[in-house]
């Protein structure tokens, strides 16, 4: 039986007027094709259908650029940094170690969880091309995307992104089963949808057929009829705001209280901007795509700004086929 949960700690809110997210740069569903890249989720494109840069990914292995390790340094004279990692596809266990969450995710914001974001951007700062992130992605990016989902307890996403991208339940991945079991996790991450209006189709498989019940974060003044519809559809409603909107810090704490401490947000940009402005984002996993698109495409984060720019420090940097995979943590 779905439960309605209330979190009573507060801060700023994600308003009803902002909905919850734009879809540009969302990392979840780029197309309706089948998945062939290791680590990709349903909705991602087949490797053979992604842009020309992806084909080159088959010719280049992933290499670590930062931090420099003993293995990196143990190359033959004349090798480029990270050459020992090159010309091969990293094993699942290697990627999982590279993107492991902190052992004790007690973050500086005091939410009791560790919230990371996964986004993609071109060299000129665009989070999409012609409204979609798929054209600026690639096979290695999809492997990293799948790995980030594979190690997370829950995926936090805005309602507009769910509507536009056709989100489905996260599936159980056989290649992650042992890793998740060892970490005390369920077979798949829960999807946590942030919505003020609850203007969602609760008859969709995201709500009716998940392996792990889908969570819906909303405010205390949400329409009771929509709350009832969500619960009837199978969602677990979590109250995380005093008004119509969701307080980002309160929402993160509510998920932590449910035992979901390893959090991943896939946007969209408006939701990410609100999480940044609220000071609850602990880590950004940013793929820098070796492409230029020009135009007026949206950045990875939008909405309200921070009063003072917040400093993040580089934790790691990987490269494959010209794509850079960076991890930054809040200092």
Q: CB-based contacts of 105: which residues, under 8 Å, 6+ apart?
A: 112, 113, 114, 261, 262, 282
Q: Where are the beta strands (DSSP E) in 173-322?
A: 190-194, 215-218, 236-239, 262-265, 283-289, 312-320
The radius of gyration of the chain from alpha carbons, rounded to an integer in Å, stands at 19
Residue 330 predicted with pLDDT over 70: yes
Q: What is d(CA 328, CA 314) in angstroms, rounded to the nearest whole number?
A: 4
Q: What is d(CA 112, CA 65) in angstroms, rounded to the nearest whole number?
A: 31
Greater pLDDT, 289 or 79: 289
Residue 249 predicted with pLDDT over 70: yes
DSSP one-letter string for 240-281: --SSSSB-HHHHHHHHHHTT--EEEE---HHHHHHHHHTT--
pTM: 0.81
Stretch 246-251: mean pLDDT: 96
Greater pLDDT, 105 or 15: 105
Q: Is residue 13 classed as helix, strand or coil in its secondary structure?
A: coil
Stretch 257-263: mean pLDDT: 96
User: Is the Cβ–Cβ distance between 155 and 265 less than 8 Å?
Assistant: yes
Tell me the pLDDT of the chain averaged across its residues.
81
Helices (H), 15-91: 52-57, 70-73
| Residue labelled with tokens 């509507």 | 163
Count how many residues are written for the chain: 331
Question: Mind listing the pLDDT tens digit for each residue in 30-54?
Answer: 433 333 333 334 333 333 333 434 4
């Amino acid at each position: 039986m779905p439960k309605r949960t209330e979190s009573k700690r507060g801060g700023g809110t994600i308003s009803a007027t902002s909905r919850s997210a734009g879809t540009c740069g969302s990392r979840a569903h780029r197309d309706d094709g089948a998945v062939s890249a290791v680590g990709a989720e349903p909705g991602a494109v087949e490797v053979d259908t992604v842009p020309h840069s992806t084909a080159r990914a088959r010719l280049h292995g992933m290499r670590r650029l930062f931090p420099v390790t003993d293995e990196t340094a143990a190359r033959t004279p004349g090798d480029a940094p990270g050459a020992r990692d090159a010309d091969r596809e990293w094993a699942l266990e290697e990627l999982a170690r590279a993107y492991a969450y902190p052992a004790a995710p007690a973050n500086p914001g005091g939410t009791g969880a560790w919230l990371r974001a996964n986004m993609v951007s071109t060299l000129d700062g665009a989070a999409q091309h012609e409204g979609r992130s798929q054209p600026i992605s690639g096979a290695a990016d999809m492997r990293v995307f799948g790995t980030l989902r594979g190690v997370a307890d829950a995926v936090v996403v805005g309602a507009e992104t769910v509507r536009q991208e056709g989100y489905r339940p996260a599936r159980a991945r056989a290649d992650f089963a042992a890793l998740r079991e060892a970490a005390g996790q369920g077979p798949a991450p829960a999807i946590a949808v942030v919505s003020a209006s609850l203007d969602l189709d609760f008859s969709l498989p995201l709500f009716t057929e998940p392996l792990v019940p889908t969570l819906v974060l909303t405010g205390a003044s949400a329409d009771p009829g929509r709350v009832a519809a969500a619960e009837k559809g199978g969602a677990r409603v979590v109250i995380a705001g005093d008004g119509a909107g969701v307080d980002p810090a309160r929402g993160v704490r509510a998920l932590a209280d449910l035992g979901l401490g390893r959090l991943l947000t896939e946007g969209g940009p408006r939701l990410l901007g609100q999480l940044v402005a609220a000071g609850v984002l602990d880590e950004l996993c940013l793929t820098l795509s070796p492409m230029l698109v020009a135009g007026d495409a949206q950045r990875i984060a939008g909405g309200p700004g921070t009063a003072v720019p917040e400093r993040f420090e580089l934790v790691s940097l990987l490269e494959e086929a010209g794509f850079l995979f960076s991890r930054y943590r809040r200092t």
